[in-house]
Amino acid sequence: MFTESAELYDLIYSSFKDYGTEAAQIAALLESIDPVYRTVLDVACGTGEHARLLAEIHGFTVDGLDLNPEFLRIARAKNPAGQFFEADMSDFHLPTRYDVILCLFSSIGYVKTLDRVAQTLRCFRNHLAGDGVVILEPWFPPDKMRTGHHSERTGQSPDVRVRRVGTTEVDGRLSRLRFEYTIENGSGTRQATEVHELGLFTIDEMLAAFAAAGLIGPLHHRRNACGICRGGTNGRTPTRGSRRSRSVHCPDCCLTSA
Ligand SMILES: C[S@@+](CC[C@H](N)C(=O)[O-])C[C@H]1O[C@@H](n2cnc3c(N)ncnc32)[C@H](O)[C@@H]1O
């Protein structure tokens, strides 16, 4: 995964990803669902940038969880008030229950299989407070991804310059992203490669996994409300949920449910 690039992550993503706007839109979405929500667990938190903004700017109490110790080191430095746990999102046991569980920027894809998605959502359910909510930003469904997609990103600080070239391969229900890095700093230039594998799940499969985990309820759909969505609802009517608690589902972007 991010074996070569954890310390370069913020440099690369801050060049094109607007964490400030995303955090503001998440805060507004949460406010509209229930203004008393306060505690947040950011699962697969990476370097803790959403966590930092949600805490510093929007007043939430935010903890985080990630598999990668290097990301956690950075996240802890940015978020001294939060607790950041090293754990696998599909199998974790924390002492606290949260109003809100976030799993953003397609991190769910990294669990690769639907069985592990189901396991992950059960874990989320077990860590939610009574009337809590999950916001999950999915990876692409199988029909939206193709082999041969090419991307190029650069990032620069006074000390280091990085260029990342990405290519995508689709292998059945798995997408494979190959990243080639060129990293230049005071001591020279080095090359590095990472291969990331993410599972491709349909919206119906994701919704079924939410339901199977007990994460379903009356639905509130807000078109493009999350700010992390990728292009609206394609004209589909959002499914109406039912039963015990609340959920929000934007069919092409975020799934929020409790
Ligand atoms: C694309 S990054 C997103 C990071 C952060 N949420 C953001 O928006 O910048 C994906 C993250 O998922 C984490 N991750 C991948 N598999 C995981 C797992 N099984 N359990 C916990 N974290 C995982 C990676 O370490 C990485 O931090």
Cα–Cα separations (whole angstroms), residue 233 to 106, 214, 253: 18, 24, 8
CA 21, 26, 27, 31 dihedral sign is positive
pLDDT score at 226: 44
* Residue 73 contacts residue 7 (beta carbons within 8 Å): no
Beta bridge partners of 62: 40
* pLDDT, position 6: 83
Going by CA atoms, what residue is nearest to atom 16 of ligand 1?
Answer: 110
Q: How far does the centroid of ligand 1 lie from the alpha carbon of residue 88, in Å?
A: 10
Burial class (CB in 10 A: 0-12, 13-18, 19+), 241: buried
50 to each of 83, 109, 134, 161, how far by Cα in Å?
14, 19, 15, 24
pLDDT of 81 > 80? The answer is: yes
Amino acid identity of 193? T
β-strand partners of 63: 41
Q: CB of 75 within 8 A of CB of 10? A: no
In this prediction, residue 3 has a pLDDT band, given cuts at 50, 70 and 90, of confident
The per-residue pLDDT for 155 is 94
Find, among 90, 16, 89, 14, the residue nearest to 52 by Cα: 14
What is the length of the chain? 258
- pLDDT mean over 120-142: 95
pLDDT of 218 above 70: no
Going from the N-terminus, what domains does the chain have, and what CATH number goes with each? 6-140+201-249 (3.40.50.150), 142-199 (2.20.130.10)
Q: Which of 106, 139, 112, 116 is nearest to 199 (CA)?
A: 112
Portion of the chain with pLDDT greater than 70, in percent: 84
* Ligand 1 neighbourhood includes 107 CB (under 6 angstroms): yes
Which of 9, 67, 115 gets mutated to test ligand 1 (max ligand atoms within 8 A of its CB)?
67
CB 7 within 8 A of CB 74: yes
* Cβ–Cβ < 8 Å for 250, 222: yes
The whole-number pLDDT of residue 186 equals: 92
Q: Is the CB of 88 under 6 A from ligand 1?
A: yes
Determine whether the shortest distance from the Cβ of 68 to ligand 1 is under 6 A: yes
| Pick from 108, 88, 132, 131: nearest CA to 203 | 108
Region 140-145: what's the mean pLDDT? Answer: 95
Compute, in angstroms, the gap from residue 37 CA to the centroid of ligand 1: 24
Query: Which amino acid is residue 135, in one-letter code?
Result: I
Q: Is 24 in the pocket of ligand 1 (CB under 6 A)?
A: no
Angle, alpha carbons 215-133-137 (nearest 5°): 85
Among 155, 152, 161, CA closest to 183: 161
| Residue 257 or 215, more confident | 215
Say how many Å lie between the CA of residue 186 and the centre of ligand 1: 29
**Alpha carbon of 8 to ligand 1 centroid (Å):** 15
Amino acid at 101: I
Position of tokens 């007990």?
Answer: 214
Q: What is the pLDDT of residues 171-206, one digit of tens each?
A: 999 999 999 999 999 999 999 999 999 999 999 999
Q: Return mean pLDDT, the chain.
A: 86
Location of structure tokens 């949920």: 241
Mean pLDDT across the stretch 14-43?
A: 95
Instruction: Verify whether ligand 1 is closer than 6 Å to residue 54 (CB atom).
Output: no
* pLDDT class of 111 with cuts at 50, 70, 90: very high
